Structures are given as C-alpha cells and as structure tokens.
Amino acid sequence: MRVKTPWTSSEGRASTVAPPTASPERAAEGGRPGPRASSAARRRLGEAAWGFAFVGPQLVGLVVFVLGPLVFAIALSLMTWDGFGTREFVGLENFAQQARDETFWVSLRNTAYFTALLLPSDLICSLLVALAVNNVRGKVLYRLFFFMPVVTSSVAVSVVWLWLLNGEFGPVNSYLRDWFGIEPPNWIVDPAWVIPAIALVSLWRGIGFTMVIFLAGLQGIPRTLVEAAEIDGAGALRTFWHVTLPMLSPTILFLTITSMIGSFQVFDLAYVMTNGGPGDASRTLVFHIYDLAFVDFEFGASAASAVVLFVILLVLTLAQLWAQRRWVYYEE
C-alpha cells in the first residue's frame, strides 16, 4: 500500500521500518520464535518509548501537580504546620479538632443549604428554558443571551449584584416594593437571606451553561420516538414524561453530578460578595479551607477540611452513580 505523503522520499525507497504494529504481535502469538521475536521486542520497546514520550508532559503534570500534592495534602491533614515552623505529626487530631469546631459545621451547613437551593432550581429552570428554546425559532439569539452570564468573570458578577441586591437602594428591592408591595429582605446583610442571595446569583450565572447541555441532549433525542408518541395520541405532557425525560436521563445524571460537585465548591461569590459574612452566614466549605490556610496559617486543619470535602464529593458521586440504575435509561 503506497500512499503519497509529504515525507516519502521521491525515489520511493523500500520501507525499512516495521509494518503496522499488529503483525509482529500476531507473529509472536503464533508461538513461532525466531529472528522476528527479538525485533518484535525491540519494536515493542520502541512503541513503549513513543507512548511515554507522548504521555510525558501530561504525566509530569499528573505526578507533580496532582498526585504529589494529593499525597502531600493527605499527609498534611495528619500534621500541624503553619508553613514556616516545625511540622508535627498529630494523626487524626486535625479531623477531631474540625469536628469540634463550630465554624466547620457552619461552613458545611451553608454549603449544603446552598447546594440544596441551587441544584434543583438550576436543573428545573434550565430544562424549562431548553425545552422552550428547542421549540422556537431564534435559538441562536436566545442561546447567546442566556449564555452571557456564563462567560463573565465571577468577580465582576459579584460586584454588580452587590449593588443590584442592596437592601435600601438596589433596583431589585425597589422593584419588589413598587410592583409587589412586599417588604423584601436585606439580601446581603441579613444572615437568613445571604445564602439564598448567593444561590440566586449563581442560578443567574449558571442557567445558560446547564441549558446548553440540556439543549444538546434534547437534540439527541430521535425525532422518530417523539413522532411515534404523537401518532399514538400522546399529548405534550405525556410525551415529555414518557419519552423526553427518560431519553434525557443520562444528561440529567451528568448535570446532577457535575452541578453538585460545582456547588459544593462555591467560593468566588462568597468571598467577593460577602467575605463569608455577615458573621459566618455565607461561609462555605471552600471558604473555610481557604481561611484556615491563608488567614490562620493552619495548613494541617485546612488540608483536613479539604480531605473531608473530597470524601463528601466522592460519596455523593458514587451514590449518584449507584442510583442511576434505578432511574437512568440508556438506549441500547
């Protein structure tokens, strides 16, 4: 098989390099030793060398910047260290100390509350919007508008919403008062409303992303199924419940897992908008981790909290993956 390629010399020299990798291995499998065997071994070595060369950079990244730090983090969680002085091995004391620490539990509670608020609203609102966008003309324009908040920096978003949600002169409250006649909460300043406020901003920011993924999922549903349902006399609602939703369930699973993981890691908004305040009302788990490390210089305790975060995410994800057998429908 002679293919004209840029690197073939013009005289068409005979190939002295190995044929595709399949054949030396087939020869080896045939159990025939001989001159082929050692060159096969050399070829395998050459292949292995290429393999590691290609994987090399990412491998270095993996080991040096992920695995190494991961092991280091777990080790750190078993020590106390302030980054300068002596390190001291303390076993599980950091974990015990965090368990006794009220701010740890507050952070965890705030994060769970935030996730409980954001996750369902994000999924439901985005699905509704995706369904609507999927059924009208002007998809591209709508997609553009809904996606704008997604591409914006979380810091700039925080700054703008600080004014929008201001209790006295912010437009949100002014309109709530004028149009609905209710006395709206003082969003950022009221400890009871600060997490819902951050969830609201996150929802505003994240709908576009979730919606786009849902749209892609919706567009992957074969039209034949929907049409079959229509022919069978199913109304829009029944079609949705019995055709669309099941076909969408892998996407829903994917989004539930990724959104949950993302929600648990909320930091930017809590840090820039309220700095964890008022008091500890918007202190999230990642904020707690950051605070312990870079404000209190308790790297051991910080690492311990981070390990807890990791375990929580692991458990939640595994639980989701285990539960998927119950409700996720995969087309065979």
Partner 1 sequence: MARPRPAALVWRVALHLFLATGALLMALPFIWMVLSSFKDISQVFVVPPTWWPSPAHPENLANAWNALPFARAYLNSAYITVTIVVMQLLTCAMAAYAFARIRFPFRGGLFVLFLATLMVPSQLTVIPLYLIMKWIGWLDTHWAIIVPAALFNAFGVFMLRQFIKGIPVALEEAAIVDGASRWTVFWHIVLPLLRAPLAALGIFSFLAQWNNFFGPLIFLSTPEKFTVPLLVAQFKGQYTTDFPLMMAAASIAVVPVLVVFVLGQRYIVEGIALTGVTR
Helix residue spans in the chain (DSSP H): 22-29, 35-62, 68-77, 93-100, 102-134, 139-151, 154-164, 171-180, 194-219, 223-231, 236-239, 245-264, 268-269, 285-294, 299-327
Distance (Å, whole) CA 240 – CA 131 = 10
Minimal distance in Å, beta carbon 240 to partner 1? Answer: 14
For position 239 contacting partner 1 by CB under 8 A, the verdict is no
Q: What is the closest distance, in whole angstroms, from the C-beta atom of residue 144 to partner 1 in the complex?
A: 5
Beta carbon of residue 217, minimum distance to partner 1 (angstroms, whole number): 7
Min. distance of Cβ 87 from partner 1 in angstroms?
Answer: 11
- Residues 6 or more apart whose CB falls under 8 angstroms from that of 146 comprise 129, 133, 207, 208, 211, 212
Binder among 161, 186, 195, 239 for partner 1 (CB under 8 A) = 161
Q: Which two tokens stand for residue 263?
A: 């929600």
Q: Which is nearer to partner 1, 108 or 215 (CB)?
A: 215
Residue 195 or 213 having the CB closest to partner 1: 213
Stretch that binds partner 1, among 26-34, 113-121, 141-149, 189-197 (CB under 8 A): 141-149
Which one of 95-103, 114-122, 183-191, 309-317 is the stretch in contact with partner 1 (CB under 8 A)?
309-317
Pick from 263, 268, 270, 282: which binds partner 1 (CB under 8 A)? 268
CB of 292 to partner 1, least distance (A): 9
Q: Rule CB under 8 A: say whether 8 interacts with partner 1.
A: yes
Among 40, 106, 108, 129, binds partner 1 (CB under 8 A): 129
The closest alpha carbon to 300, from 138, 132, 79, belongs to 79
Of 10, 11, 20, 102, which lies in the binding site for partner 1, with binding defined by CB under 8 A?
A: 20
Q: Where does this chain touch partner 1 (CB under 8 A) — which range of 91-99, 169-177, 185-193, 223-231? A: 169-177
142 binds partner 1 (CB under 8 A): yes
Q: Which is nearer to partner 1, 14 or 192 (CB)?
A: 14
- CA distances to 57, 189, 209, 231, 300 from 161, in Å: 41, 13, 19, 48, 35
Closer CB to partner 1, 18 or 123, in the complex: 18
Compare residues 5 and 86 and give the one whose CB is closer to partner 1. Answer: 5
Residue 157: Cβ within 10 Å count: 19
DSSP, residue by residue, 198-230: HHHHHHHHHHHHHHHHHHHHHHTS-HHHHHHHH
Q: By CB under 8 A, what part of segment 193-222 binds partner 1?
A: 204, 207-209, 212-213, 215-217, 220
DSSP 136: S
- What are 110's two structure tokens? 């705030």
Which residues, in sequence order, are CB contacts of 192 under 8 Å at separation 6+? 185, 281
How many chain residues touch partner 1 (CB under 8 A)?
A: 114
- DSSP helix/strand/coil, 80: strand
Q: Between vectors from CA 122 to CA 117 and to CA 123, what angle results, nearest 5°?
A: 115
Site for partner 1, residues 22 to 81, rule: CB under 8 A: 44, 47-48, 50-52, 54-62, 64-70, 72-73, 76
306 binds partner 1 (CB under 8 A): yes
DSSP-derived secondary structure letter, 152: S
Contact status: 124 vs partner 1 (CB under 8 A): no
